[in-house]
Amino acid sequence: MTRGPSQDDELARARLRGRRAGLAILVVVAVAFIVSSTSQITRAVFGLGGGPVPAGAPGAIDPACTQGVKALLDARFSRVDSPAREVLLDACSRTPEGLDLSAALKRLKVAEEQLTRRCQAELSPLRRDVEAHLPADLR
């Protein structure tokens, strides 16, 4: 039994529709993956979506750590000896939030060292980043 020309055309059209549907599903999945990845990377790079932890919340930073960091900010890094700074940063690194504060403080330190002769206005965003990790009563 042989197929007629109309059956072959119908089979070819069905295969084409199947391929198009498969490609459409693949494109939707790929676009969703790209959008999700871009969103996550953007939030991580620009620090969006996260915020300071309220004082007393589970996982909150030790008050001695936050007060020490505030004292460091007020005194400037150059006036605080390195061992005292390292002890403070070690105490702050015991919680994930403390690690964030420690990282922000280290970024500020490096920037201050690089920009000591430049305009202080360039340090303001980094300083605000460090202060954003402090409890509201210490800002």
What tens digit of pLDDT does each residue of 67-119 get? 888 877 877 665 666 677 777 777 787 888 888 888 888 888 888 777 776 77
What pLDDT score does 80 carry?
60
34 lies in the same domain as 78: no
What pLDDT score does 57 carry?
56
**Bigger pLDDT: 87 vs 51:** 87
| Residue 42: inside a domain | yes
Q: What is the CA radius of gyration of the chain?
A: 28
73 lies in the same domain as 45: no
CB 70 within 8 A of CB 138: yes
33 lies in the same domain as 85: no
| Residue 56: inside a domain | no
pLDDT value at 24 more than 90: yes
Best CA proximity match to 73, nearest among 43, 96, 101 = 101
| Residue 58: inside a domain | no
70 lies in the same domain as 13: no
71 lies in the same domain as 34: no
pLDDT value at 65 more than 70: yes
- What the block records as the tokens of 137 is 């009563």
Q: Return mean pLDDT, the chain.
A: 80
| Residue 101: inside a domain | yes
What pLDDT score does 11 carry?
92
Best CA proximity match to 129, nearest among 94, 113, 105 = 105
